[in-house]
């Protein structure tokens, strides 16, 4: 997780690196720690299924780094594996394909 500058978020009305769906960890001034996915973003703070937290009430804010998320990478790996499997199947069945031009193909 990457630390987000809470003071900067208050000044610019947004937390840098935080988007809808981001997993965040908020530590409040009263020392409570909550993790949630962001479903609500306003100039005042962030919200999710655990409630709404104002920037001014945050002691710290951390967001899951994009590299750690992995959901985009997982889809890429799955599609790559399927593509390789299809290529192998095509090559394995290539002996049953014949290309003839101009005259009928001889039958084996």
Residue 100 lies in a domain: no
What's the pLDDT band for 93 if we cut at 50, 70, 90?
A: confident
Q: Are residues 30 and 56 in the same domain?
A: yes
Query: Which of 51-83 are b and which e, b meaning 16 or more Cβ less than 10 Å from the residue's Cβ?
Result: eebebeebeebbbbeeeeeeeeeeeeeeeeeee
Span 43-66, mean pLDDT?
87
pLDDT at 49 over 80: yes
CATH number of the domain bearing residue 19: 2.30.30
pLDDT at 86 over 50: yes
Residue 83 lies in a domain: yes
Residue 102 lies in a domain: no
Question: Tell me, what's the pLDDT at 12?
Answer: 72
DSSP assigned state of 90? H
Is residue 22 a contact partner of residue 51, using CB atoms and an 8 Å limit?
no
Domain span at residue 88 reads 69-94
Q: Are residues 54 and 77 in the same domain?
A: no
Q: Are residues 12 and 59 in the same domain?
A: yes
Q: Are residues 39 and 74 in the same domain?
A: no
């Amino acid at each position: 997780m990457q630390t987000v500058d809470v003071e900067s978020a208050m000044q610019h009305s947004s937390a840098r690196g935080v988007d809808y769906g981001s997993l965040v960890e908020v530590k409040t001034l009263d020392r409570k720690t909550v993790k949630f996915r962001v479903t609500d973003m306003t100039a005042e703070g962030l919200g999710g299924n655990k409630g709404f937290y104002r920037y001014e009430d945050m002691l710290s804010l951390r967001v899951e780094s994009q590299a750690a998320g992995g959901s985009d990478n997982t889809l890429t790996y799955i599609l790559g594996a399927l593509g390789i499997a299809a290529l192998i199947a095509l090559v394995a069945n290539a002996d049953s394909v014949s290309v003839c031009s101009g005259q009928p193909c001889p039958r084996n």
